[in-house]
Amino acid sequence: MKSLFKVKHWSLRTRIFMSMILITLISSILIAAASIIHFQIKSKVYHDEKLLIKENQIRQHIQYILATTPHPLTTFNLRSIFSYKIFEIANIHNIQIDIFDFSGRLLVTSKAPIIKGQISPLLPDYVVDRVKNSPKNRYVDFAEGKDKSYRFSYSYLMDFVENKPLGIIRLPYVEDDSFYKNEIRNFLLIYGMVYLAMVIISIWIAYYLSKYITKSLKTISDKLTETSLTEKNEKIESVTNSHEIDRLIFSYNKMIDQLQESANKLAQSEREGAWREMAKQVAHEIKNPLTPMRLTVQSFEMRFNPEDPNAKKKLADFSKTLIQQIDTMTAVASAFSNFASLPAQQNETLNIVDVVKLALEIFNEDYIRFESSHGEIITKIDRTQLIRIITNLVKNAIQAIPDEKTEKSILVSITKDKSNAVICVQDNGKGIAYIDFDRIFEPKFTTKTSGMGLGLAIIKNIIENYNGSITFESEVNQGTTFKVILPIINK
C-alpha cells in the first residue's frame, strides 16, 4: 500500500498533473508570503517615518522654547526650563516626553511631576553609550508589551547656538499596527477566494493538459505493448504537432518496419533450419533399416542355393526381413508426413462423450476404464482429429506401464469446468522424470526405446488449432495424467 504513494510508481500523466498543481500551490504560497512581508516592511517604514517626523516636530518646538527662555542653557537648568512647558509640548504632540542628563538620570517627564527627594529612574548604560557613540547621536530601542510593540527614540537635546548637547531626550512611541493588520486580513480574505478559484481552474487545466500531453504517449505505449514478433503490427497514423512526440511516432513506425523485416528473416531462417533438421532426422531414420537390408541381401546372395531343400523357407525369411525393414521406412515417412501437415479445422458439432467412447473401443486391454460426469458435452472439433488425440494418449499410457506390473490401470475421464470440457488420461505407469518436463512436447523427443517422438507434438498442434490446451502431471513410478481442455458449446 505504501508503494502507491511513491513518486516512482506514478504514471507520466499523474506526474504532469501533480507537478502543475504543486507549482500553483507553491507560487500561491510565495505570493501570499511576499505580500505579508511587504506589508510588514511597509509598516516598519511607516512607523520609522512617523517617529522621525514626530521627533523633528518636537525638536523644533523645544528649540523655540530654548530660544525664548530667560534661563541660561545648561543641563542643570533643563528642569527649570521645561518644568511646565514639557506638559504643553506633550499635549500638543500627543506623546510622552522624558529628558535625562548625560548620566542617564531623569530630569523632566511629561508623565507625572517629579517630587523633590524622589529617586529618579536611570537610563541603562548601553543606551547612554549608544547615543553618545552613534553618528547622529540617535538610538532607537524596541520593546514588546503585552499587546503592543514600543519604540523608544533617544537623541541629544542640542543648543544649536553653541552647538553643544544639553541632555538626552526620550520619546516613547507605541506602534499601532491595527491598520496594517486589517489590510493584511482583508488581503488574505480576498486572496483566499481568488486562490480557491485559481486552484480549481488550475486543476481543470492541469487535468486536460496532462491528458492532452500523454494522449499520444499512451497511444504509443499501447502499440508497444501490443507489438509482437509473430503477428503483423500496425503503424501509428497520427500527427500531434509536437516535434518530440512526432519524432517518437516516426521512430516507432520505423522500428515496426525493421521488426517486420527481421521477423520475416527469422521465420525464413527458422523454416530452413527446421527443414534441415527434418531432413537429417529422416535421413537418419531411413538409413537405420537400409543397413540391415543391405547386409541381408548380401548374405542371401552369398549363401543362397536353389538346390537346398530349405531354399523355400530361406527365401520366405529373406522376404519377411525385407518387408519388416520396408514397413519401418514406411512408418518413418508417415510419421514425418503427419507432423508436417496441419489438421484441417472442419469444426464438426459433436458430443465428445460418444466420440471418446468410440475411440476406446479399438483397445482390448481390460484395465482401461472410462468415466464421464455428463452424458452429453457438445463441442466443435473434427471427429477424426479427436479420435487421433485420444488414441495417441491411450497408446502412450499403455506403453508407459511396464509389462511386469501386476495391477495396471488407465482411466479416461471427461468433466466440465465452466465453459470447457476436460479430458483426462491417467495411468499408473513409470511416469516422466522432472528433467524431461520442458521437452515432453518437443518434436523428436521421446522417452521410449521405439517411436519417432512426434505423437505428442502432433496432438498438441491439433488441440491448439481448436483453441484448446494440453498439460500433464507426472510422478516417477506413480504414473502420469494428461489433461486436454477444449472449449464447449453451451446450449
Which pLDDT band, with edges at 50, 70 and 90, does 203 fall under? Answer: confident
Task: State residue 243's pLDDT score.
Answer: 64
pLDDT of residue 77: 83
Given this model, what pLDDT does residue 334 score? 64
Nearest CA among 355, 382, 398 for reference residue 459? 382
Cα-based distances in Å from 391 to 281, 345, 477: 25, 19, 23
Rounded to an integer, the average pLDDT of 228-243 is: 65
For residue 260, give the C-alpha cell: 517486420
Q: Which pLDDT score, from 0 to 100, does residue 225 have?
A: 72
> What are the cell numbers at 112?
507625572
Predicted confidence (pLDDT) at residue 358 exceeds the cutoff of 70: yes
pTM metric for this prediction: 0.38
Q: 12-68 vs 178-226: helix axis angle to the nearest 10?
A: 160
Q: Is the pLDDT of residue 228 over 70?
A: no
Whether the predicted pLDDT of 235 surpasses 80? no
Ordered DSSP codes for 56-96: HHHHHHHHHHHHH-SS---STTHHHHHTTHHHHHHHHHTS-
Rounded Cα distance, 159 and 69, in Å? 12
DSSP 398-445: HHHS-TT-SS--EEEEEEEETTEEEEEEEE-SS---GGGGGGTTSTT-
Q: How far apart are CA 230 and CA 413, in angstroms?
A: 36
Q: Average pLDDT over the chain, rounded to whole?
A: 77
Q: Which residues of 62-87 are buried (b: 16+ CB within 10 A; e: fewer)?
A: beeebeeeeeebebeebbebbeebbb
Could you tell me the domains of the chain? 6-181 (3.30.450.20), 244-340 (no CATH), 349-487 (3.30.565.10)
In this predicted structure, the answer to whether residue 116 has a pLDDT above a threshold of 70 is: no
- Quick: pLDDT tens for 34-85: 877 877 777 777 777 777 888 888 888 888 888 888 888 888 888 888 888 8
Looking at the predicted structure, is the pLDDT value of residue 197 above 50?
Answer: yes
Among the residue ranges 127-131, 191-195, 218-222, the one predicted with the least confidence is 218-222
Which of 90-104, 197-211, 278-292, 393-407 is predicted least confidently? 278-292
Residue 337 clears pLDDT 50, i.e. is over it:
yes
Q: What is the pLDDT averaged over residues 206-224?
A: 70
> Which residue blocks in 227-310 are alpha helix, DSSP H?
243-303
pLDDT at 342 over 50: no
Which pLDDT tens digit goes with each residue over 11-43?
A: 666 777 777 778 877 877 887 788 778 777 777
Please tell me the predicted confidence (pLDDT) of residue 483.
94
What is d(CA 478, CA 428) in angstroms, rounded to the nearest whole number? Answer: 6
Query: Residue 325 to residues 22, 287, 288, 335: CA-CA distances in angstroms?
Result: 84, 10, 9, 15
- Judge whether residue 439 has pLDDT over 50: yes
Cα 300–Cα 302–Cα 307 angle in degrees, nearest 5: 80
Between 268 and 376, the higher pLDDT residue: 376
Q: Once rounded to an integer, what is the mean pLDDT over residues 347-374?
A: 88
Percent of the chain clearing pLDDT 70 (strictly above): 72
* Structural contact between residues 213 and 16, judged by C-beta atoms closer than 8 angstroms: yes
295-327: per-residue pLDDT in tens?
Answer: 667 766 676 677 677 777 777 776 776 776 676
**% the chain with pLDDT above 90:** 9
- Residue bearing the bigger pLDDT, 288 or 381: 381
Residue 413 has pLDDT above 90, yes or no: yes
Q: Mean pLDDT over residues 369-387, rounded?
A: 88
